Each structure stands twice: as structure tokens, then as C-alpha cells.
């Protein structure tokens, strides 16, 4: 059976002919298995209906190149995907990206001589949303099909549309199809070409399954955001508007507050363009307040909140509730496990909801699977709706569940970090898993511990401050430790809890010591001892006095340190605390070394090591052994010193404390120099310096570098020695350690003399 239909004409008067064989009639057009489309000889003006590409486009060159790779013709049979689907958050610039890409593709000779078809599907606007049938009607008309001959049914329209596109391609008039703002795969699929030659670009706020090359579009970097502000103002006001270059600091602040979202940045630029005399500082100040930021990012023709509204309206009740509860996590990201506590459901349910929100680009998956984050402006939007629906969502109960999860899990993890034998929580399989969880959640835990009401809670903050202390000290996150203990201290003082105040002050002082703020540490420990004394806590007073002795050593007030440590030993002895006494012996030995009373130091440190060994506290024993090695070296008992340092380094390595291992290696290196094992010494100091550098411990790094220089001089590597001593002197200077700097400069002078002597 063969049927032929001819009729209609394009704008130039040329007939449009469809030859169809082996088919049947549907309405005014024939549908069949094989369709031969006779196209009008001239390109229809509607085939160049691409929106104008803005002149202020920046930060997306890599993404444009990736899309062009998909669109380029003649790449061989291995290129099977000719459709690129760009997905991303509302306002992230998806449409602009595909318009810019299409504009560049059209300029490539021979790529798309047939022009471009563009359709906005308004997928997220319930009032303007286009159905595939309506979209195909417009596309077919743009391709030259007379209206009276366009089929009524979706399937028929799609088949004819694809046939026409294939016909254009066969005649060397390949068309680029741009389908913008699609909400579902069903809305997009009938519009996608299937001939393997015609290419298409698609945008959606959802990641759609349409057999396309997927591109997730992220926000702009701060640099690109500032450049966008600059270009937009130049475009609006001309080269005389130099506000961005004149005030780079506030331009960066605006970029940060807009969180790299192009829509927000363009609104900010428009607000500045409206008032050419308005300084950037004024807009930055207006955007600073989080609770009004979304209101400020608004102009009569566009608003960030309105863009988010269209995505939010598509959520069902379960997705909407989770979305509104997510801002209760004050940290930068959230685990699937934590989300399950928020909504009071199992993890598989939470994961499914989170993945759906990620496909809608209302949240972003982290670099590690199982972690999720909210864009800053989306967080503000979700939090607004969270307060509106607080009762329905049972927001207070959700926050309690999340806080309980963080507090209980941190306490459980802390049991695995204890150095003394004892019960370990079954919440974690072992110390490794406990540390891994703490590493993953650190930023969330610190943010939760320091959050002000209503997102913070006093009981959570104080519990986390103490539960996190050992972990933060082990990982050397002392700024975090200072922040959480300072928060806890204020809360204890507010409620008049003297014992809690003493504990917080003691923890704070220990952190201050580690960042070499010794005078502040002395003050904190002195106040802690006084607080414990006033509430009759003799054991707590002993701990504070013990730590005070350490802080006084750091301040190089050794006689006062020994006095404080002696008082601490008395307090522990009264309480029958053998562990406390052992820690005093350890610290007392260190002070005696500094006073060069080596025999007494050796006796004190040996007792400490023995006591910790009996208590099965391997890391504390290692600390005592390392300090003992220093004392032994000073009385020229080098072999014993090497053995003590080697044991200490091995124990710290076993414990998983690279920073402490570096301390032992640095001391070992200095002892190896004394026994003329210079190559081993160089290796030990090099390892130590590298670890200190990794941890940002500049003062410790300076000491290791200075020691390294000494070892290098002994193997006649004088140029390297000069470099090591030079770096050491600079690092000591940064740390305001004049004594250390002088020692390094003296060693540098010796190295330079060696260089001159051997040249």
C-alpha cells in the first residue's frame, strides 16, 4: 500500500511534500513506517529563534567545551550520544550556558547549517508549563509544517517531527534543538531527535533519565562571581563604573553572600546599576543579615526566592518535610545517617528522599557518597519554610533527635580514644572506625557545639565540648578546641556551674598551650584551679595545677612550674589517683630537663614510664620514654636514649598519632647525631619536619629544620644545611621565638663558614 500527500508551502512559496508508504491515514496526515520528507529549499526564519546570549558570561569555559564535544558532527561511530542534558539548581545559569554553547556551535562552519530550534517548556511554572503536544506543534510549524496538517496525537506529532529533523540532516541542513526548562523526562522525551545526527541541548532542575550525556552545573567560583559583577556593571553603566575593581574586598563579600549563584549575582549587579553612586559596601551590608538576604536579592522583574519557589512547589509532603528540616544541621554537610535521625526514619528511606532532592538539585551530593549539602541561599529558603511549618514538621523533636545522635555518637567514639583500659562502646567496631566517624563529622560537631540558639542548645554544646576534647587534641585541631571550650565556658558561667567552669577552663588552657599562647594558658589554668578549689573538687584542682605546670614551662617559668606540679602531686596523692601522680611525674621530669637537673629528671621520668606501663597506657608511657631519652642524651647515655626514642616513636605510630611520632623522631635524630649515625639522623629529622609542616606546627617545624641542618652539615651537604637553618630562623621569627631564632642563626653562620671552607 502506498499513499502520497502534497500540500502547503513555506514562507517562500515552496511546497512541502510528505511521501509515506506502507501506512494509514491519521486525521489530515498519513502515518507510516517509512517517511520521506521533501523539505522547503530555504531555511525558515523560525529556525534562528535562539535567545540573545548575554555579553556578561564568565567562569564557564570548561562547561561550554564539554557541551560542544557532544554537539560536534563527524566524530565517528563511537559517538552515540548527541543529546546533552544540563541540570542544576534554580538560578545557576543553565539556560545561559546552553544559549552560549548554541551560539558558539552555530558559528562553527558546517555544524548546524539548518539553524537552531529553541523552546522554553516552562516545566516548573504550573501556569505556563508546555505539554509535549503543544511544544511539538510550535516546533513543527517552525520547521515549515502547515498547521492544518499537524497530527493531533502526541505520538504522531513526535514521529513526524523526528522525520523532518532527519530529513533536514540528510539534505545537509542539520538542526540544533534546544529544549529549555524541562521538569520531567516525559515532558522532554517526545521532543528529542532520534536519528543519530541531529543534536540537542536540554536543561532541567532535575537530573533526567533521557539517554543523554549528563552535565551537573555548579555555582561559580568566587573569582568568576566577582568578574560577573564587574562585567554586568560595565555592560550597564560603561567603563566609568569601576566600583568592583576599586573595592575588591566588598565585591568578594557580595560574591560570597550570593554564594556563586548567577541569578543572585545578576540581581546584585542590577541593584548596583540602578544606583551608580551606591558603594559596594552598602549592598554588602544589606546582604549580610541572613534572615533578610533573600528579600534583598529581589528586583521587580526577578527574585531568588521566586526561582526557588517553583522547585519547592514540586515537592511531595515527605520530600518537603526533609527539605525544611535540613537546615537544623548547622554544619556544612549532612550524612544520610544523620538525616535519618532528623526525620525519624530508617537510613534506606532517608537515602531515597535525599537522592530525590539531589536529582531536583535542591541539595547537592558531596564528594564522598552518603553526604549531602545545601547551597547557602537554598538553606536560608528552606529554613524560612521550616519555621512556617515548625509544628507540622515537629521541628523541635527533629532537632533533639539530631543533637542526641551527635552527642551520643561522639561520647561513644571518645571511649575508643581513651588510653587507659576500659569499656569501649559497641557503637563503633574499633578505634579506627571511631576516628573515621569523628573525621567525617568534625565540622558538623564543632558547628553544633558552638551554634547559638535556637539551632544550638546548652546541654549539647557543653557535652560535645568535653567529648570532642581528646579527638581535637589528637588531630591537632586546636582552634576548634578553643572555640568549643570557650562556648562551653560561657554557658557554665551563665548558669553558675563552677565545676563545669573549671573543666572548661582546664581544657581551654591546654589548647592555648598548644598554640603557644602561654600567658593566656597560665591564666586559664589558674582560674580552673581556683574554681575547683571553691567547689571542693580536690582531684579537679590537681588536674588544673598539673596543666598549669605545663603552661608555666611553656612560658619558661620553670621554678614556678615545679611548685605547681608539686602541689598537683599532693592533690592526686590525697585522692589516691595513681594515674594523676604519673602525669605529674612526666611533667615534672620535663621541667627538670629544662633546668638541666638531669639525674632527677631521669628518676622522675623512669617512674612515670613504669607507672604508665603498669596502667597499660601505652601512649603516655611513650611520652615519658621520649622525654626520658632527652634526659639520657644530656648525660651522654646515648644508646639508652636511642632505645627510649625508638620505643616512643613505635608506640606513637601504633597509636596513630603522627604528630607525637614526629616529636619522638626529632629527638631520636638529635641523639643519632651524637653517636655519628648521621644519615639516619637526616632521615629522622626530615620525616619530623614534613609531619610538622603538614599540621601547620611552625614552631615544631622550625626546631626539626634546625636539627636537620646540623645533621646535614655532618654529612657535608652544606648547601642543604644552609637552606634548613635559614628556613628554621624564619619560622622561629614568625613564632616570635627570639631564643630559637638566635640558635638557628648561630647554626646558619656555622654552616656558611663550612661552605666557605670547602669551596
User: What's the pLDDT tens digit per position in 519-543?
Assistant: 999 999 999 999 999 999 999 999 9
Q: At residue 3, does pLDDT exceed 50?
A: no
Percent of the chain with pLDDT over 90: 83
Q: Are 236 and 273 in contact (CB under 8 A)?
A: yes
Q: Are 714 and 721 in contact (CB under 8 A)?
A: no
Half-sphere exposure of 57 (CA within 13 A, CB side): 20
The residues, any chain, with a CB within 8 Å of residue 709's CB and separated by 6 or more, are 720, 721, 722, 723, 724, 725, 728, 744, 747, 748, 751
What domains lie within the chain, and their CATH numbers?
2-216 (3.40.50.300), 222-306 (no CATH), 315-393 (1.10.10.10), 402-638 (1.25.40.10), 676-757 (1.25.40.10)
Alpha-carbon distance of 356 to 360, in angstroms, equals 6
Q: At residue 78, does pLDDT exceed 60?
A: no
545-583 confidence digits (pLDDT tens): 999 999 999 999 999 999 999 999 999 999 889 999 999
- What is the number of other CB atoms lying within 10 angstroms of the CB of residue 538? 14
30's enclosing H/E stretch is: strand 29-31
564-585 burial, b for 16+ CB within 10 Å, e for fewer?
Answer: bbebbbbbbeebebeebbbbbb
Chain centroid, CA 450 distance in Å: 19
DSSP characters over 575-612:
HT-HHHHHHHHHHHHHHHHHTT-HHHHHHHHHHHHHHH
251-296 confidence digits (pLDDT tens): 999 999 999 999 999 999 999 999 999 999 999 999 999 889 999 9
Phi first, then psi: give them for residue 456, nearest 5 degrees: -100, 165
Q: What is the mean pLDDT of residues 475-485?
A: 96
Q: At residue 13, does pLDDT exceed 50?
A: no
Which residues pair with residue 340 across a beta bridge?
Answer: none
Q: Are 121 and 135 in contact (CB under 8 A)?
A: yes
According to the model, what pLDDT value does residue 16 have?
A: 39
DSSP state of 210: S
Q: Are 192 and 201 in contact (CB under 8 A)?
A: no
Q: At residue 22, does pLDDT exceed 70?
A: no
Q: Which of 7-21, 29-43, 677-691 has the lowest mean pLDDT?
A: 7-21
Burial class (CB in 10 A: 0-12, 13-18, 19+), 279: middle
| Average confidence score pLDDT of the chain | 90
According to the model, what pLDDT value does residue 575 have?
A: 87
Q: At residue 241, does pLDDT exceed 60?
A: yes
According to the model, what pLDDT value does residue 239 have?
A: 93
318-367 confidence digits (pLDDT tens): 999 999 999 999 999 999 999 999 999 999 999 999 999 999 999 999 88
85-143 confidence digits (pLDDT tens): 999 999 999 999 999 999 999 999 999 999 999 999 999 988 889 999 999 999 998 88
Q: Which of 742, 744, 664 lies closest to 703 in space, CA to CA? A: 744
Q: Which of 69-78, 544-553, 648-657, 717-726 has the lowest mean pLDDT?
A: 69-78
According to the model, what pLDDT value does residue 5 have?
A: 27
Q: At residue 451, does pLDDT exceed 90?
A: yes
According to the model, what pLDDT value does residue 48 have?
A: 64
According to the model, what pLDDT value does residue 37 have?
A: 52
Amino acid at each position: 500500500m502506498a499513499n502520497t500527500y502534497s500540500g502547503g508551502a513555506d514562507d517562500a512559496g515552496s511546497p512541502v511534500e510528505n511521501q509515506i508508504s506502507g501506512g494509514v491515514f491519521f486525521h489530515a496526515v498519513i502515518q507510516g513506517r517509512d517517511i520521506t520528507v521533501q523539505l522547503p529549499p530555504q531555511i525558515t526564519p523560525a529556525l534562528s529563534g535562539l535567545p540573545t546570549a548575554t555579553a556578561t558570561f564568565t567562569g564557564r569555559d570548561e562547561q561550554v567545551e564539554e557541551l560542544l564535544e557532544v554537539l560536534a558532527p563527524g566524530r565517528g561511530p563511537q559517538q552515540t550520544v548527541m543529546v546533552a542534558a544540563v541540570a542544576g539548581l534554580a538560578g545557576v545559569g543553565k539556560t545561559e550556558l546552553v544559549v552560549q554553547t548554541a551560539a558558539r556551535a552555530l558559528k562553527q562552519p558546517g555544524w548546524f547549517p539548518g539553524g537552531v530550534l529553541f523552546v522554553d517548556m516552562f516545566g516548573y511554572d504550573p501556569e505556563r508549563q508546555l505539554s509535549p503536544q503543544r511544544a511539538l506543534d510550535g516546533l513543527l510549524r517552525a520547521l515549515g509544517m502547515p498547521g492544518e496538517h499537524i497530527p493531533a496525537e502526541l505520538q504522531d506529532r513526535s514521529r513526524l517531527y523526528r522525520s523532518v529533523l532527519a530529513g533536514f540532516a540528510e539534505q545537509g541542513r542539520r538542526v540544533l534543538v534546544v529544549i529549555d526548562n524541562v521538569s520531567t523526562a516525559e515532558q522532554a522525551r517526545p521532543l528529542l531527535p532520534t536519528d543519530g545526527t541531529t543534536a540537542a541541548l536540554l536543561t532541567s532542575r532535575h537530573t533526567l533519565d533521557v539517554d543523554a550525556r549528563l552535565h551537573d552545573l555548579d555555582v561559580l567560583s568566587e573569582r568568576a562571581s566577582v568578574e560577573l559583577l564587574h562585567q554586568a556593571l560595565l555592560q550597564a553603566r560603561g567603563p566609568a563604573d569601576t566600583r568592583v575593581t576599586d573595592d575588591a574586598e566588598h565585591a568578594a563579600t557580595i560574591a560570597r553572600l550570593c554564594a556563586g549563584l548567577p541569578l543572585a549575582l545578576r540581581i546584585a549587579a542590577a541593584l548596583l546599576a540602578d544606583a551608580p553612586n551606591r558603594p559596594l559596601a552598602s549592598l554588602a551590608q544589606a546582604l549580610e543579615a541572613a534572615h533578610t538576604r533573600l528579600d534583598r536579592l529581589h528586583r521587580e522583574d526577578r527574585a531568588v526566592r521566586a526561582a526557588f519557589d517553583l522547585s519547592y512547589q514540586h515537592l511531595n509532603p515527605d520530600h518537603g518535610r526533609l527539605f525544611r528540616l535540613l537546615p537544623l544541621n548547622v554544619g556544612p554537610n549532612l550524612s544520610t545517617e544523620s538525616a535519618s535521625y532528623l526525620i525519624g526514619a530508617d537510613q534506606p528511606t532517608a537515602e531515597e528522599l535525599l537522592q530525590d532532592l539531589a536529582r531536583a538539585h535542591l541539595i547537592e551530593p558531596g564528594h564522598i557518597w552518603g553526604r549531602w549539602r545545601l547551597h547557602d541561599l537554598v538553606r536560608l529558603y528552606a529554613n524560612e519554610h521550616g519555621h512556617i511549618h515548625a509544628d507540622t514538621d515537629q521541628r523541635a523533636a527533629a532537632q533533639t533527635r539530631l543533637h542526641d545522635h551527635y552527642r551520643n555518637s561522639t561520647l561513644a567514639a571518645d571511649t575508643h580514644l581513651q588510653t587507659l583500659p576500659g569499656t569501649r562502646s559497641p557503637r563503633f567496631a574499633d578505634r579506627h572506625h571511631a576516628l573515621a566517624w569523628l573525621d567525617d563529622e568534625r565540622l558538623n560537631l564543632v558547628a553544633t557545639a558552638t551554634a547559638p540558639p535556637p539551632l544550638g542548645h546548652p546541654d549539647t554544646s557543653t557535652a560535645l565540648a568535653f567529648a570532642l576534647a581528646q579527638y581535637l587534641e589528637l588531630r591537632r585541631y586546636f582552634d576548634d578546641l578553643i572555640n568549643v571550650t570557650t562556648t562551653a565556658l560561657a554557658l557554665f558561667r551563665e548558669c553558675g556551674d563552677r565545676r563545669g567552669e573549671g573543666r572548661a577552663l582546664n581544657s581551654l588552657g591546654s589548647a592555648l598551650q598548644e598554640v603557644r599562647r602561654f600567658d593566656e594558658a597560665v591564666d586559664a589554668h589558674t582560674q580552673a584551679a581556683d574554681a575547683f578549689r571553691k567547689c571542693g573538687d580536690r582531684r579537679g584542682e590537681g588536674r588544673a595545677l598539673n596543666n598549669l605546670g605545663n603552661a608555666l614551662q611553656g612560658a619558661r617559668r620553670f621554678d614556678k612550674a615545679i611548685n605547681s606540679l608539686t602541689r598537683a602531686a599532693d592533690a592526686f596523692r590525697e585522692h589516691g589517683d595513681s594515674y594523676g601522680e604519673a602525669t605529674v611525674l612526666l611533667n615534672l621530669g620535663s621541667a627538670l630537663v629544662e633546668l638541666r637537673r638531669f639525674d632527677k629528671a631521669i628518676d622522675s621520668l623512669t617512674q612515670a614510664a613504669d607507672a604508665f606501663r603498669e596502667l597499660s597506657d601505652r601512649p603516655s608511657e611513650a611520652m615519658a620514654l621520649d622525654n626520658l631519652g632527652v634526659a639520657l642524651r644530656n648525660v651522654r647515655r646515648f644508646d639508652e636514649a636511642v632505645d627510649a626514642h625508638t620505643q616512643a616513636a613505635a608506640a606513637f605510630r601504633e597509636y596513630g598519632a603522627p604528630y607525637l611520632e614526629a616529636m619522638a623522631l626529632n629527638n631520636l635524630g638529635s641523639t643519632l647525631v651524637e653517636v655519628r649515625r648521621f644519615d639516619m639522623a637526616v632521615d629522622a629529622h626530615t620525616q619530623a619536619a614534613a609531619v610538622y609542616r603538614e599540621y601547620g606546627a611552625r614552631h615544631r617545624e622550625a626546631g626539626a629544620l634546625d636539627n636537620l641542618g646540623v645533621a646535614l652539615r655532618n654529612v657535608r651537604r652544606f648547601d642543604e644545611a644552609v637552606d634548613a637553618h635559614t628556613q628554621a630562623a624564619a619560622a622561629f621569627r614568625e613564632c616570635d621565638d627570639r631564643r630559637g631564632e638566635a640558635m638557628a642563626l648561630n647554626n646558619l653562620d656555622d654552616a656558611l663558614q663550612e661552605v666557605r671552607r670547602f669551596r
